[in-house]
Amino acid sequence: MGLADLVRRFEQEYNRRGIVRLRKRGWKPKILPYTGYGSDSLRVLARAVMAAPDEADSARSLIPERAQRGWHQFFTTQVGYLPVTVSIGGTTIETHTDASGYIDLLVEGHGLEPGVHEALITPVAGAGARAPVVIVDPGVRTGIVSDVDDTIVVTWLPRPFLAAWNSFVRRTNARQAVPGMAEFYAALLDDPADPVFYLSTGAWNTAPTLEDFIRANGFPAGPLLLTDWGPTPTGLFRSGQEHKKTQLRNLLIAFPDIRWILVGDDGQHDPYVYADLAREHPSRVAGIAIRELDAVEQVLSHGVPIQREAPSAGRAWADVPTVRGHDGYELLARWRGEGG
């Protein structure tokens, strides 16, 4: 048995004991809704966790204020294999949460019009919730996929000490937005119906805080595509690159007529992930915008300064338009052909 298997079993047993202990204290399961999405078919996203008696029977979030200390977001006990009923658009489906308490349900033939709808999720025990679902108009032809860390919010990931400070210590309303990025996104959107997805290797626990950050800093609303921390069947940690590649391909499948503008930064793997997608599906990528970290950020990210190719506003990466810039204002100028 590998180390990852041992850690995963320990995590599962620790969580199981936690559920038993909390039930004795009167805690119940509660559904935390996430924003789903779809077109002809749709995804309903949520998670079941244990909640205190005063929270389990109310509609209040387990994370009441974004001004709290960030570490509060990570202390939850998930409820795996909890039977739930999901109702949306005249369709009712009985299912259950997975081992980590997540609901990721694909609904076909929903018959819903474009816009924001709600899926009613009712667990067999505890409080239910209404999960928003964005149905994208089939006539839409352009969308944005945006990274989060160091692209719209300054977090200095993946540096472990600074990441831990930002995620667990600093108050969640103290996070800084990257200058000009909200304006850049507003300029990219031809139509208010154009979808925006926020793709990150961050944990789902941070979803309420990220949604508050997006709203407070003037970014367009859109579903979050996050991941789960912890061991997998193949390793102690999940692959951020694989998570992003998988989610990008899911979007290509879900929206076959949309061409995507991919926005990220050069501190992690975004340039490589986006380049791979552009080479494999050039007709589906309308453009790539990469925020360049400054020298200090690069050292913190990689440990040493890196040599990057000269920024170019021309065509690159499988003949897909590509721009680079230090913030949203520079990216916007180059996107419009006004800069370097």
Residue type (1 letter), 305: P
pTM (two decimals): 0.84
pLDDT in tens, the chain (340 residues): 565 555 556 566 667 766 878 878 889 999 999 999 999 999 999 999 998 887 765 544 444 444 444 444 445 789 999 999 999 999 999 999 998 899 999 999 899 999 999 999 999 988 889 999 999 999 999 999 999 988 999 875 554 554 454 455 455 566 789 999 999 999 999 898 999 999 998 888 888 888 999 999 999 999 999 998 654 444 434 557 899 999 999 999 999 999 999 999 998 789 999 999 999 999 999 999 999 997 766 665 555 555 554 444 444 455 799 999 999 999 999 999 854 4
Q: How far apart are CA 326 and CA 220, in angstroms?
A: 21
Cis, peptide link before residue 158, omega less than 30° from 0:
yes
Q: How would you list the strands of the sheet with 224-227, edge to edge?
A: 224-227, 196-203, 142-146, 259-265, 285-291, 320-325, 315-316
C-alpha–C-alpha distance, residues 76 and 73, integer Å: 7
The CATH class, in words, for 3-135 is mainly beta
What are the residue ranges spanned by the domains of the chain? 3-135, 142-335
The CATH architecture that domain 142-335 belongs to is 3-Layer(aba) Sandwich (3.40)
